[in-house]
A and B are shown apart, each in its own frame.
Chain A
Amino acid sequence: MLEGKFESASLMKRLVEAIKDSVKLCNFNCSQTKGITLQAIDDSRVLLISLKLDPGCFEGFRCDKNLVLGLDLESLSKVLKQGNNEDYLTLIAEDAPDNLLVVFEDPKKDRISEFSLKLMDIDSDVLSIEDMDHDCSITLPSSDFAKVARDMRTLSESLQILVTKDSVKFMASGPIGTGSVIIKAHTDLKDGKESIKIDLNKSVNVTFGAKYLNDIVKASTLAETVTIKLTNKIPALFEFKLQGGYLRYYLAPKFDE
């Protein structure tokens, strides 16, 4: 039996909102030691999502037997919207489940809402991602990155990122003209989360589809900072750290023809 209780429903609500536009059907793997993990690839096989929710992400977590919960994220989103952000959220499944029970409890009032969601058999292949060495790593406020990705998409369907020792340059060029945003490394002593950190082994020049970047920045509601790891010509890693876990996106770059 699986029983995972979150201190507030908002984490799960934000997670599903962050990924449901990229992938529709997902297998949630549950185990006592690893908590809940998920790997899913979008239909175009350009963007991969990897989620880890350690048992420590939960207020209470037990999983007697390893389980795979095949869920339609559109349906899960509908159910999660029934609960308030501050509600306790508990996910419950039997050992050979046909359904996932989603329970919301209002912390102040005596109200309990219960939903049963049908599970599905989802055939999906899993890609093995080894730890990669990257040429550079950038950590910046996730809202700053979200703004650049959203703004620059209005100019072009591609976003070029150039990283040098102390700055990151985002460039877009499209039918109406061109644009660039340069951000420089700096340390904010008052609020460390506002700092911009660049670790560089080698300068990088990569281009990504603006559509995918706009899907990725939907996760900026989950973490105040995002870490972007880039290497020329190989997939980039975008990581949003969670309390006791992470949401990672791997994105294949675009190539010059």
Chain B
Amino acid sequence: GGTQGRLDGFFKVS
């Protein structure tokens, strides 16, 4: 079923 991506790769910590 593929590798689960993480949100940190897309959104920066503000």
**What is the interface of chain A, defined by CB distance below 8 A to chain B?**
41, 44-48, 125-129, 156-158, 207, 209, 234-235, 250, 252-257
Contacts and interface: CB of A to CB of B under 8 A. Distances in A.
Nearest to B2: A254
A256 B14 CA distance: 29
Contact of A235 (B3, B7, B13, B14): B7
11 contacts: A41-B7, A44-B4, A45-B8, A46-B5, A127-B8, A127-B11, A234-B10, A250-B7, A252-B4, A252-B6, A252-B10
A129 B14 CA distance: 9
**Main secondary structure on chain A at its contact with chain B?**
loop
A208 to B, nearest CB: 9
Q: Which of B2, B6, B9, B14 lies at the interface centre, i.e. has the most chain A CB atoms within 10 A of its CB?
A: B2
A226 to B, nearest CB: 20
A257 B1 CA distance: 9
The listed residue with most A CB atoms (<10 A of its CB), out of B4, B6, B8, B14, is B4
B7 A48 contact: yes
Given A128-B13, A156-B1, A250-B11, 5 more contacts: A48-B11, A127-B14, A234-B10, A252-B9, A254-B2
Contacts of B9: 252
A210 B12 CA distance: 25
A157 B1 contact: yes
B3 A252 contact: no
A183 to B, nearest CB: 22
A46 B6 contact: yes
A257 B7 contact: no
A209 B2 CA distance: 9
A125 B5 CA distance: 19
A6 B8 CA distance: 35
Contacts of B5: 46, 235, 252-255
B2 A235 contact: no
Nearest to B1: A158
Contact of A207 (B2, B6, B14): B2
B13 to A, nearest CB: 5
B11 A257 contact: no
Contacts of B10: 234-235, 252
A126 B7 contact: no
